[in-house]
Structure 1
Amino acid sequence: MKCRVLSLSLLLPLAFAACSQTPPATGSASSTATATSTAAATDTSLLGQYHWQLNNATDSAGKRIDALFVRAGQPVQLDFSADRLNVVNSCNVMGGGYSITSGRLQMGPMIRTMMACPDAALAALDDAIAQRLQGSLKLGLQSGGNAPHLQLVTDRGDTLSFTGVPTAQTRFGGPGETAFLEVAAQTVPCSHPLIPGKECLLVRERHFDEQGLPAGTPGAWQPLYQNIEGYTHTPAIRNVLRVKRYAVKNPPADAPSTAYVLDLVVESEKVSK
């Protein structure tokens, strides 16, 4: 059985990641912090440096919005680019254009794929998100502490709170290089000085043209002596992955100088032994 999924980003650019000046410091410390937070809220580059994971959502009466928390361990996530916002961990791929004006997030129409989700609560998650990410939302951003926090408030009083997790680009200090890796269905034994009996992914590099069609000759199969961040291998499943490849600055001894981060599963196929 073969399930081939070509991202829109392979066929077309993915349709789904201005600084205002801070007033001079006057008055109380709290008013200064508020001014700083307001200024940071319009910093699109700061928004793009983090994955924003939903940690709380309440309605105008302060009641938790349970419909937004149906995937344990996979919170709804917002990813901002220059003028697009993507929603991650919903049922379908969702996203839309946005702008920030006077401390408010102005959302354009949301676009989503039409994949059917067998779980009713997960299927309803798309609508629960879309209902709240539309029109104009009050935006607040606090960048102090261990992690930044983003808050969106709808006109009807729903409050969505997010915690920022640094993107790979932020962690590795650069945009990285896009590559495609085909991962064989079965792992292979590989030598590791600290891990007896280690099994490695067997991978080869693939190439695609602007229309998302295979191009050129695949690279040679070789064991990958490290993990691909964000990817969990399932035996008997062959995958083609779009990854970001980053140079690791000052890696520890015996650690790889390159990091791979999963961007998208492009193709999957169940392989019979």
Structure 2
Amino acid sequence: MKYRMLLLPLVLAACAQTPEVTAPAPSATTAAANPASSTGTELLTRYHWQLSNAIDSNGNHIDALFARPDKPVQLDFSPYRITVVNSCNSMGAGYTVRKGHLQIGPMVSTMMACHDAALAALDDAISQRVRGSVDVNLLARDNAPSLQLVTDNGDTLSFTGVPTAETRYGGPGQIAFLEVAPQSVPCNHPLTPDAQCLLVRERFFDEQGLASGTPGPWQPLNQNIEGYTHTPGIRNVVRVKRFTIKNPPADGPSVTYVLDLVVESEKVGQ
């Protein structure tokens, strides 16, 4: 039994439209950053902004925004686009920042059916608030920056910043595609002789999302792909960001892989 999910043309288009953040990370400070400045905008792009609190104009907690306690609503910013993560559907829009205001363009969303009523309500609750013109306050702190959005009807959404991989590893990663075999294999690392590793090979695609070139050789990956959970019996092609580790330990890898997107999935029957 097989099923396949192919997203490569869209994925490659997204690669071309979303530039990497390459400027050095700003130093942490306890002063508020002006989001209209280059420093404020860079700070937005350097963190995943996870919703930590939301209250309406009467001070009541907005429960509908917390339908997934284990996966809080998250805002990700590229230099030109805002993306809503951990709702039922994927949502995104263009944005600009000017004089303390975040101007959000029309929200584009996937049309996946949300069978869970709470998730369907979450989609509606976040799209109703992350739109149009909202007041934005950005506070850079030594431990974790915070972002506050205030809508025109007085709702206040508070977010905590979690460093992106680019921030943690000090620069942009290299985009690569890895095919992950359905079953893991014994690792070939002398320090983990009894461990199981993913079996992977590198894949290559042209601008139309069609396979090109010759895939690399199959080999055990003696490390994890950050953010990826493997299900036995499922073959995946994943888009990853590959980062160089500065001053790696003597017995550790010199690069690390961070999951960007699962672009192809196939269940391989017995």
Q: TM-score, normalised by structure 1?
A: 0.89
Counterpart for residue 203 of structure 1: 200
Distance in structure 1 (CA, Å) of the matches to 2:75 and 2:229 = 22
Contact 2:198/2:221 (<8 A) preserved: yes
1:272 to partner: Cα distance: 1.6
Q: How many residues align?
A: 256
* Deviation (angstroms), 1:16: 7.9
Deviation per CA, 1:137-174: give whole Å up to 9, x if none: 11001101310000001011111111101110111111
> Structure 1 residue 41: deviation in Å?
6.3
Q: What's the secondary structure of 2:214's corresponding residue?
A: coil
AA partner of residue 213 (structure 1): L
1:158 aligns with 2:158: no
Q: Distance in 2 between matches of 1:12 and 1:58?
A: 34
Report if aligned partners of 1:40, 1:143 keep a CA contact under 8 Å in 2: no
Q: Is the 8 A contact 1:16 1:85 kept in 2?
A: no
Greater RCO, 1 or 2 (C-alpha within 8 Å, sep 6+) = 2
User: Identity, % of aligned pairs?
Assistant: 66
Equivalent-residue separation in structure 1 for 2:129 and 2:51 (angstroms): 13
Q: Tell whether 2:142 aligns with 1:140.
A: no
The question of 1:2 aligning with 2:23 is answered no
Report matched runs for 1:203-222 at 5 Å: 203-222=200-219
Deviation at 1:192? 3.8
Deviation at 1:119, TM superposition (A): 1.4
CA contact (8 A) 2:66 2:72 kept: yes
Worse overlay, 38-47 or 182-191: 38-47
In structure 1, the residue matched to 2:114 is 117
1:82 aligns with 2:66: no
**Is 1:50 equivalent to 2:47 in the alignment?**
yes
Equivalent position of 1:73 in the other structure: 70
**Contact 2:239/2:261, CA 8 A, preserved across alignment:** yes
Task: Kindly indicate whether the alpha-carbon contact (under 8 Å) linking 2:65 and 2:126 is maintained by their aligned counterparts in 1.
Answer: yes
CA distance in structure 2 between the partners assigned to 1:213 and 1:57 by the alignment? 44
Is 1:37 the counterpart of 2:32? The answer is: yes
- Cα pair 1:2 1:268 within 8 Å, conserved: yes
1:39-94 CA distance string (max 9 Å, x none): 25641111101110111111111111111111121111111111110111111111
TM-score (norm. length: structure 2): 0.90
AA aligned opposite 1:243? V
In structure 1, runs of 5+ residues without a counterpart are 18-32
Counterpart amino acid of 1:49?
R
d(CA) in 2 for partners of 1:141 and 1:5?
38
Choose the corresponding residue for 2:247, options 250, 267, 270: 250
How big is the shift at 1:3?
Answer: 2.7
- The alpha-carbon deviation at position 219 of structure 1 amounts to 1.1
Distance 1:258 1:38, change over 3 A: closer
Stretch deviating more after TM superposition (183-192 or 219-228): 183-192
Mapped to 2, the partners of 1:65 and 1:181 lie a distance apart of: 40
CA contact (8 A) 1:16 1:96 kept: no
Distance 1:16 1:5, change over 3 A: farther
